[in-house]
C-alpha cells in the first residue's frame, strides 16, 4: 500500500536519511520518535507537502514523488488540528467535497455519515474557536475522512489533549480503524500511545529508522539502547555476555551474573523490563533463574504504581502496584529479593 524506499529529506538542521518501510493495506502503522526527529516532515513527504531530497514513495503500486498532493488521495490530521478558522465546522468537513464539485445530495449523505460516525452532528454550525480540544480533533478527523482517502496520516493527533480526552480519542481512533479499515500512519512521541494503537511500530531517531516491528518486539526486544530507552525499559546495562560450560548464558555486570535465554557473546547491552521483576521479602522458590538480594535505594511514586530501585549491585528498577507496595511495607534501606526469569533478560 505504502512503500518508502531510501527516502532522504533535508530538515535544514539535519537530514532524515535512508528511511525504508512498507505499510500494508488496512494496517495501523505507528512512527515513534522524540520531538524534533522529523516525524511530521516524514508524513508531509508522503502527502507530497514537503519536497524530498531523494528516494522513492509508492502509493498503491504507483511512484508518486512527482504527483501533486491534491492527487494523492492522502489526508493529513495535524496535532493542533489545523481547522480553517474562518469556516464553520460543517464547511470545514465538506471543504474537500465542495472542491470535488460533488452534488448537493451526495455531500449531504457523506456529511451525515461522517458526523454520525464521529458524533459531532451537534457541532455543525459552531466555529472552530468555540470547540474544545477533543472536539476540534474529531472535526479534523471528520474533515480528513470526508474525502474517503486511501491513506490517513495522523501527526501526533492526541498530544495536545488532556489525559482523559486523550484516552477517549485513542479508543475512538481504534474503533474508527476497525470500522473503516483505512491504511493509517500515525506519528507520536508517546510510547504508550504507540503500543496501544499500532499494529506495527517504527522507531525513528538521530535521523534514521532505528527499528521496525510489532509492539511486542519493540517492547521486549529493542535492538539498540535508543529504542530501549524510548520503550521505557528502565534497566539497560552494558556488560559482558558469556556461554557457561553448563550451557547457561550469563550476562555479567558489576559482579552480578544474570542468566539470560538469549545467546549472544561478548560486550553487549542487556535490558530487563521493570514489570518483569518480582519484589519479595523472602527469596522465592520458583522456576525463575534469577533471584538476588538487594537494598531499596529509591522509590518513584506514580500513583497507582511505583518504581522501586533495588541495589544488587547494579541498580535495578522494579514496578510494583500500590497494593503490593503497601502490603510489603517497602521503604528506602529495606532488604528485599528480586526475582525474574531468564527470558526477561534481553541481550542486544
Nearer to other proteins, 96 or 274 (CB): 96
Question: In the β-sheet with 315-321, what is the strand arrangement from edge to edge?
Answer: 278-280, 335-340, 290-301, 305-311, 315-321
What are the DSSP calls for 243-311, one per residue? E-TTS-EEEEETTEEEEESS---EEEEEEE-GGG-EEESS---SS-SEEEEEEEEEEEE-SSEEEEEEE
Among 21, 28, 78, 230, binds other proteins (CB under 8 A): 78
Binding range to other proteins, per CB under 8 A, among 95-103, 156-164, 187-195, 235-243: 95-103
Using CB under 8 A as the binding criterion, the count of chain residues that bind a second copy stands at 33
Is 90 a binder of other proteins (CB under 8 A)? no
Is 304 a binder of a second copy (CB under 8 A)? yes
Q: Which residue has the cell 539498540?
A: 224
Which residue from 155, 21, 187 is spatially nearest to 75, judged by alpha carbons? Answer: 155
Q: How many angstroms separate the most distant Cα atoms in the chain?
A: 78
Is 75 a binder of other proteins (CB under 8 A)? yes
Nearer to other proteins, 149 or 215 (CB): 149
**322 binds, options a second copy, other proteins, none, Cβ within 5 to 8 A by partner type:** a second copy
Is 322 a binder of a second copy (CB under 8 A)? yes
What are the DSSP calls for 166-220, one per residue? HHHHHHHHHHHHHHH--EEEEEES-HHHHHHH-SEEEEEETTEEEEEE-HHHHHH
Site for a second copy in 63-82 (CB under 8 A): none
| Integer Cα distance of 26 and 24 in angstroms | 6
| Integer Cα distance of 88 and 143 in angstroms | 12
SS3 state of residue 95: helix
Nearer to other proteins, 115 or 249 (CB): 115
Binding range to a second copy, per CB under 8 A, among 99-107, 260-268, 286-294, 295-303: 295-303
Is 95 a binder of other proteins (CB under 8 A)? yes
Is 69 a binder of other proteins (CB under 8 A)? yes
Q: What are phi and psi of 214, to 5 degrees?
A: -70, 160
Site for a second copy in 128-187 (CB under 8 A): 162-164, 167, 170-171
Could you list the residues that contact other proteins (CB under 8 A)? 44, 47-49, 66, 68-70, 72, 74-76, 78, 80, 82, 84-86, 95-96, 99-100, 143-144, 146-147
Could you list the residues that contact a second copy (CB under 8 A)? 34-35, 162-164, 167, 170-171, 189, 191-192, 195-196, 215, 219, 229, 231-232, 273-276, 298, 300-305, 319, 321-323
Amino acid at each position: 500500500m505504502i512503500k518508502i524506499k531510501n527516502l532522504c529529506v533535508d530538515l535544514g538542521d539535519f537530514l532524515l536519511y535512508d528511511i525504508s518501510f512498507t505499510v500494508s493495506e488496512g494496517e495501523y502503522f505507528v512512527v515513534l520518535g522524540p520531538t524534533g526527529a522529523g516525524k511530521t516532515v516524514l508524513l508531509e513527504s508522503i502527502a507530497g507537502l514537503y519536497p524530498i531530497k531523494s528516494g522513492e514513495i509508492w502509493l498503491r503500486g504507483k511512484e508518486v514523488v512527482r504527483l501533486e498532493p491534491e492527487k494523492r488521495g492522502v489526508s493529513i490530521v495535524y496535532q493542533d488540528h489545523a481547522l480553517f478558522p474562518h469556516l464553520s465546522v460543517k464547511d470545514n468537513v465538506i471543504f474537500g467535497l465542495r472542491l470535488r464539485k460533488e452534488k448537493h445530495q451526495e455531500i449531504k449523505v457523506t456529511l451525515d455519515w461522517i458526523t454520525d460516525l464521529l458524533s459531532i452532528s451537534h457541532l455543525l454550525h459552531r466555529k472552530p474557536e468555540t470547540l474544545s480540544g477533543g472536539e476540534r480533533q474529531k472535526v479534523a478527523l471528520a474533515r480528513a475522512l470526508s474525502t474517503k482517502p486511501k491513506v490517513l496520516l495522523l501527526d501526533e493527533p492526541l498530544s495536545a489533549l488532556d489525559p482523559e480526552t486523550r484516552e477517549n480519542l485513542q479508543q475512538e481512533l481504534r474503533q474508527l480503524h476497525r470500522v473503516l479499515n483505512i491504511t493509517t500512519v500515525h506519528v507520536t512521541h508517546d510510547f504508550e500511545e504507540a503500543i496501544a494503537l499500532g499494529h506495527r511500530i517504527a522507531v525513528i531517531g538521530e535521523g534514521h529508522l532505528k527499528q521496525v516491528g510489532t509492539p511486542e518486539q519493540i517492547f521486549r526486544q529493542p535492538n539498540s539502547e535508543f529504542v530501549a530507552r524510548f520503550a521505557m525499559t528502565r534497566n539497560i546495562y552494558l556488560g559482558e555476555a558469556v556461554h557457561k560450560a553448563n550451557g547457561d548464558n550469563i550476562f555479567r555486570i558489576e559482579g552480578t551474573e544474570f542468566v539470560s535465554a538469549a545467546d549472544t557473546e561478548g560486550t553487549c547491552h542487556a535490558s530487563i523490563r521493570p514489570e518483569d521483576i518480582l519484589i519479595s521479602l523472602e527469596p522465592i522458590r520458583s522456576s525463575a533463574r534469577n533471584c538476588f538480594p538487594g537494598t531499596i535505594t529509591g522509590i518513584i511514586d506514580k500513583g497507582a504504581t511505583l518504581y522501586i530501585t533495588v541495589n544488587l549491585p547494579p541498580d535495578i528498577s522494579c514496578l510494583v502496584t500500590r497494593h503490593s507496595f503497601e502490603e510489603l511495607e517497602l521503604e528506602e534501606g529495606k532488604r528485599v529479593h528480586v526475582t525474574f526469569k531468564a527470558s526477561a533478560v534481553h541481550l542486544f
